[in-house]
Amino acid sequence: MTARIGVVTFPGSLDDRDTQRAIRLAGAEPVALWHKDKDLKQVDAVVLCGGFSYGDYLRAGAIARFSPVMGSLIEQAKAGLPVLGICNGFQILTEAHLLPGAMLGNDHLHFICRDQKLRVENAETSWTGDYRQGQEIHIPLKNMDGRYVADEYTLDKLEAEGRVVFRYLDFNPNGSLRDIAGITNEAGNVVGLMPHPEHAVEPLIGTGRTDGLPFFTSILKKLVNA
C-alpha cells in the first residue's frame, strides 16, 4: 500500500501537474483536489502548489485562503494532516495562519527565477526526514512575492524552536528576514517554503540534480511507516 497525497488546484495554480509528477516519481499516489470541493478525498497528506491563485489579487494567497477546500484543510492540518506549501502554497499557509509571519513583494521589486542554494536547518519535519541537518541543496526559485517577514518576537521564537526549516545560502533573493526560505508549525506537520522542490526531481530538468525529491520520499516514508 502506498500513500495518497492530494494536490490542490486553484484558478491560477501553475505547478499542480509538476507536483503530481514529483509525487508519482517518489512512489506515492497523487490525488487531484479542486478548490471548490470541501472534500479532501481522505488523502494522507496535501501539497499546496505554486502559481498565482486568484491572480494574487488583494495579497498573494489571500483569496485562496477562503476557498471551500481550505476550510477542510485548515481543520485537518490543525489535527495533524501533513501539508506542504510551495511558493504560492506557502503564501496561502501564512494567510491562513497555519504558519506565522507573512509574505511580501521581493525587496528589489522584480520577479526572480534562479537556481537557489539552500541549507536544510531542520530534517525532522514530516517533509524533510530524508535530508540531513545542515545539508546544502540546489532547487529552483521563481517568485514575485517571496519576502518572508515576521516580528522580532516571532523570528526569535522560530529560531529557538528549530522551526526555520530552510535558509537561503550565499544570496538572499528577496529580502526575507534572517534569510528564511521555509518554516514549519509547532507540530512539524505543516511546512512552507518559497523555492520549488517539485522542479528538481529529475536530472534532465531544473537544476540538473534531484535535490527536491527527498520532500516527496520523506512524506511517503513517514506515512507508510506510520
What amino acid positions are annotated as catalytic residues?
87, 196, 198
User: Which one of residues 11, 12, 105, 162 is an interface residue with another protein (CB under 8 A)?
Assistant: 105
The contact mask relative to another protein for 173-192 (x = CB under 8 A, - = no) is --x-----------------
Shortest Å distance, C-beta 182 to another protein: 17
The C-alpha cell that represents 84 in the structure block: 506542504
* CA-based end-to-end distance of the chain: 12
Q: How many CB atoms lie within 10 A of CB 204?
A: 5
Distance, CA of 170 to CA of 151 (rounded, Å): 24
In the region spanning residues 17 to 46, those forming contacts with another protein, defined by CB under 8 A, are none
> By C-beta, is 51 or 101 nearer to another protein?
101
Q: Is 108 in the site for another protein (CB under 8 A)?
A: yes
Shortest Å distance, C-beta 97 to another protein: 8
The residue range among 10-18, 127-135, 146-154, 193-201 that interacts with another protein, by the rule CB under 8 A, is 146-154
Query: Any idea what the Cα angle at residue 130 is, between residues 129 and 135, rounded to 5°?
Result: 100
Q: Is 204 in the site for another protein (CB under 8 A)?
A: no
- 69 and 33 in contact (C-beta within 8 Å)? yes
Q: b or e along 158-176 (b: 16 or more beta carbons within 10 Å of the residue's beta carbon)?
A: beeeebbbbbbeeebbbeb
Q: Which residues bind another protein (CB under 8 A)?
A: 58-59, 62, 66, 94-95, 100-102, 104-109, 147, 149-151, 175
